[in-house]
Amino acid sequence: MCSYIVEKVALYGSAKGLSDWKTVDTAHVYFDHPYHAPLDHALGIDFINQANGGKDRIAVELSAETARELVKAITAALDRGEMEHAGLNQY
């Protein structure tokens, strides 16, 4: 059974596709049956440019365990980076 649970997050950033960099302004985050990963369920993240119609997407499918480790690594990198750069953000 599909859950159709999707969290939508506004973003400010870029993502690299097959041939070039693209502006992304939205991420759709979901936990459901993957399209490609050999898993029963996966955490999927689709990075899109909603302002550009959302036609192109850059997607990842991760196991739940991998996704949780990625969250920890993102938090650690942000914490460490903000400490080392004394809170100087460029956004």
Q: For residue 46, what pLDDT band results from cuts at 50, 70 and 90?
A: very high
Residue 91 has pLDDT above 60, yes or no: no
Domain membership of residue 89 (yes or no) is: no
Domain membership of residue 77 (yes or no) is: yes
Residue 88 has pLDDT above 80, yes or no: no
Cβ proximity of 62 and 43 under 8 Å: yes
Residue 70 has pLDDT above 80, yes or no: yes
First vs last C-alpha separation in the chain = 40
Residue 36 has pLDDT above 60, yes or no: yes
Domain membership of residue 91 (yes or no) is: no
Q: How far is CA 4 from CA 38, 68, 76, in A?
A: 19, 20, 30
pLDDT of res. 82: 87
Domain membership of residue 49 (yes or no) is: yes
Q: Tell me the whole-structure pTM to 2 decimals.
A: 0.83
Tell me which residue of 11, 7, 91 sits closest to 48, measured CA to CA: 11
Domain residues for the domain of 23 are 6-84
Domain membership of residue 60 (yes or no) is: yes
**Number of domains making up the chain:** 1
- Find the largest Cα–Cα distance for the chain: 47
Please tell me whether residue 70 adopts helix, strand or coil conformation: helix
